[in-house]
Amino acid sequence: MMRVRADTTLCQGYGNCVVDADDVFDVDDDGMVVVLRETVSTEERARVEAAARSCPVAALSVSEEPPGADLG
């Protein structure tokens, strides 16, 4: 599994992530990113990473989920 994180202190509401992967990202009424699914499968990795890379302010990351990690 992969873990998706968004840094809301960086997000500027550009919305590129939503256009690329609207099943994982959304923006709220204030234009702030919302992560719809915090974990994605390994099969989805390339697509979700591409969406994360489309962020002009690098506010998004996709990383390996360590086994047994607490998802909060």
Positions in the binding site for other proteins (CB under 8 A) = 12-16, 18-19, 22, 27-29, 31, 46, 49-50, 53-54, 56
Task: Give 43's DSSP letter.
Answer: G
Nearer to other proteins, 16 or 39 (CB): 16
CB of 3 to other proteins, least distance (A): 19
Nearer to other proteins, 41 or 69 (CB): 41
- Return the closest-CA partner of residue 24 out of 36, 34, 40: 36
Whether 71 and 23 have beta carbons less than 8 Å apart is answered as no
Q: CB count, 10 Å around CB of 59?
A: 19
Nearer to other proteins, 4 or 17 (CB): 17
